[in-house]
Amino acid sequence: MFQYLNLPTGWSLFFLVLSTTLLVLWFFFLRGPKSIHNDASLPPLPSPDPALTASLLSKLRGLPEDWELFDDPLIREKALTSMVEKNGKTFLMYCQGDVKNALGASPVIATADPKLVKEIFLKKTHTLRRPRRMLLAQHLPGLDGVLFQDGPKWERHSRTLKPVFHAKNFSQFTNEIRREAAKHVELWSSINEKSPLSVHHMGGGQISTLSSLRELGTSVALHVGYGIDPSCEEGAALRVALDGYDEKKRFRAAGTNICLLIHALFLVWMDAKRIRNVVAKIVKRIQMEEKEEKVEEKEKKEEEGQGKRREDEQQQQQQEVTATPPAAPPAPPAAPAAPVVKPLSWIKQMVHAKFSVQELSNEVGHLHHAHKAIAYMTSFALYELGKHPEWQKNIRNEFSTVLLNGRPPEKTDLIHLKICTSVWKETLRMHPISLGVIREVGADITTKLNGGEEEVTIPKGTMISVLLYALHMDKDSWTSPELYNPQRWMDSGNQSAQSTFSDRGIREAFVPFLDGKRQCEGRFLAELEFIIFMWSILKEHDVVVPNDYIFRIGPDFFPDAATPIPIKLKKRIKVQ
Ligand code: HEM
């Protein structure tokens, strides 16, 4: 094998020993003690029926050279819509590079057919089971989180984390989100050409939106998700550990060189371990605090009981000594105290559900990863607003009409903020966080190919790439889909599209958060964070994107801007 890898024998032996040691370390230390729960994933589906697959493949169009357009940075994601136009809404996609590495196959069956997508997302048989490719991520250090799980394991994780995602819970943090956003906006507005380079400043007075918004996102996640003040020592340590974990960057830097890949795996393992060490301390602190709280509560109850007994005894003694006066009217019952709603946090939820430190730290890292989506979407929105200043004005006017006396937005205001939420939805439509997601169909699907009469069967077990970007650009569902036009949401004849909730509208081929049982858990939190940030920035500033900036994305299905999106803030002159 080592001859095949072209390595000199000394090195071969070294790497053999190193990789075996790493494997042993990983098995005994990183995976941690086995959970006491039934943490099985669903059994994998059998391979798809070869005859049905052969018949399907013979009917689908698509050529390897179609992918060349995706490799062209000037065209990139638009290549996916070209493929749909050329080959039909369900076709064979011969992906290459990072996309092929992520999907693990080429060609794959890809679809941007709204009807088929709806069936895949909404029917539990197709959506509850994770594709084998996604399940693999569970075995990489630090990646075993809810997105990559299924079966009883997913149910337990999802059930435990869900209450934190409930609007009633996270709305309590509106002030914290606003404070963190205000800090960032203040910092941004202080940046000028002479400011030193930093995570916020990319030179020339230009603000580096994504890296700065990611920092903001981590602060919000620490407050809202983990219940930790980002400015305390614990918060700072967790931030450093979370920001240090980027498995994609590590593996991408290693390329295909086996030695570098082993090295990258080791580094990822170290990064995950750093998160685990911090989380272990937090868990210990929480357990101690809760133990103390319990003791205090018990003591308080005992004291109250003793006090009551003493009072009763005194009353009895008084009654015996004094002549019985006429009975006083009974005191009106005290008004019930308003229940104190304690905010929930993912960490506390998992501690109460008896997750091991290993499970807990994996999930902490994983949720931080998922939360990053909001930073990407907000930076895309700032780019679009910079290019379409009329929408900045529209949002500002709406804020001053709906939020009287300049008060900040709350979750309950969202329903009235149609313009701001339409900007959000239009940004999600044009810049979905992932150009495509994968699913494995759990039962044979019979569908008509590309609107024609010919029926085909997609056999059980087939992996399908659902092309969100191409779906959001579907010419049969959208008028001029290539144009950024938030007005389309307000003018839509469809009630659910007009709603301010961005998870609505599957009929319009709009699924930025997917749909059904495995849709995004964080969508409502993301919406609130976005609105608060827009309010924080636009009330006193204009956002400007330099004229010479050309927006392009990198060659990945999770698209980052190929060069960071720069913006400048212009302080608005207050009208007296
Ligand atoms: C604009 C922002 C966001 C977008 C566009 C987005 C999009 C998505 C999408 C497309 C998925 C499904 C991925 C798949 O199944 O292949 C997903 C899943 C998920 N997202 Fe988000 N997301 C956003 C923000 C957030 C935030 C702020 C959180 C909070 C931590 C979050 C937590 C999750 C979780 C936990 C899942 C897994 C759900 C499951 O599989 O049961 N997301 N998200």
CA of 494 relative to ligand 1 center, distance in Å = 25
Nearest CA to ligand 1 atom 6: 513
Q: Is 126 inside any structural domain?
A: yes
What is the Cα–Cα distance from 174 to 484, expressed in whole angstroms?
29
Residue 448 lies in a domain: yes
- Indicate whether 414 and 503 sit together in one domain: yes
Q: How far is the CA of 520 from the centre of ligand 1 (A)?
A: 4
Q: What is the mean pLDDT of each run of 10 residues along the chain (576 residues)?
A: 46 64 58 60 92 95 96 95 96 95 94 94 94 92 95 96 94 93 95 94 94 96 94 97 94 89 95 97 96 90 83 81 62 63 90 96 96 96 98 97 94 93 95 96 91 87 97 93 95 71 65 92 94 96 96 91 94 73
Long-range contacts of 542-550 (CB under 8 A, 24+ apart): 542/389, 542/392, 542/569, 542/570, 542/572, 543/382, 543/385, 543/386, 543/389, 543/392, 543/567, 543/568, 543/569, 544/386, 544/568, 544/569, 544/570, 545/382, 545/383, 545/386, 545/387, 546/206
Task: For residue 470, tell me if it sits in a domain.
Answer: yes
Query: From CA 101, how far away is CA 254, in angstroms rounded?
Result: 13
- Going from the C-alpha of 154 to that of each of 143, 378, 399, the distances in angstroms are 14, 29, 40
Q: What separation in Å is there between the alpha carbon of 477 and the centre of ligand 1?
A: 24
Q: Are residues 464 and 397 in the same domain?
A: no
Best residue among 42, 160, 433, 520 to mutate for probing ligand 1's pocket (most ligand atoms within 8 Å of CB) is 520
- In this structure, the residue with its CA closest to atom 43 of ligand 1 is 520
The reply to whether 91 and 125 lie within a common domain is yes
- Assess if residue 149 is contained within a domain: yes
> Distance from the CA of 523 to the center of ligand 1, in angstroms?
7
The number of distinct structural domains making up the chain is 3
Q: Ligand 1 atom closest to Cα of 527?
A: 1
**Atom of ligand 1 minimally distant from the CA of 437:** 16
- Ligand 1 centroid–CA 299 distance in Å is 44
567 and 547 part of one domain: yes
Q: Same domain, yes or no, for 484 and 408? A: yes
For atom 40 of ligand 1, the residue with the nearest CA is: 147
Q: What is the DSSP string of 529-551?
A: HHHHHHHHHHTTEEEE--TT---
- 356: tokens are 């091991």
Output the residue whose Cα is nearest ligand 1's atom 41.
Answer: 518
- For ligand 1, atom 36, the nearest C-alpha belongs to 520
Q: Which domain holds residue 76?
A: 51-135+434-474
C-alpha 91 – ligand 1 centre gap (Å): 26
Q: Which sign, positive or negative, has the C-alpha torsion 233, 235, 238, 242?
A: negative
Please give the model's pTM, rounded to 2 decimal places: 0.88
CATH code: domain of residue 111: 3.30.43.20
Atom of ligand 1 nearest to the CA of 468: 10
Is position 185 within any domain?
no
Are residue 272 and residue 226 in the same domain, yes or no? Answer: yes
147 and 224 part of one domain: yes
For the chain, the 3-state helix, strand and coil shares in percent, each to the nearest 5, are: 55, 5, 35
Check whether residue 502 and residue 524 sit in a common domain: yes
Domain assignment present for 6: no
Please tell me the distance from the alpha carbon of residue 531 to that of residue 178, in angstroms, as a whole number.
10
Centroid of ligand 1 to alpha carbon of 156 (angstroms): 17
Residue 383: inside a domain: yes
In a domain, 418, yes or no: yes
Same domain, yes or no, for 282 and 400? no
End-to-end CA distance of the chain: 77
Ligand 1 center to 516 CA (angstroms):
13
Residues with CB under 6 A from ligand 1: 146-147, 158, 367, 370-371, 373-374, 377, 428, 433-434, 437, 512-514, 518, 520-522, 525-526
Kindly state whether residues 518 and 396 are assigned to the same domain: yes
| 539 CA → ligand 1 middle, Å | 29
**Same domain, residue pair 490 and 422:** yes
Q: Whose CA is nearest to atom 7 of ligand 1?
A: 513
Q: Are residues 524 and 459 in the same domain?
A: no
pLDDT at 506: 55
- In the reported structure, the alpha carbon of residue 146 is separated from the centroid of ligand 1 by a whole-number distance in angstroms of 10
Residues 6 or more apart whose CB falls under 8 angstroms from that of 365 comprise 142, 143, 145, 242, 245, 272, 275
- What integer pLDDT is reported at residue 231 of this predicted model? 94
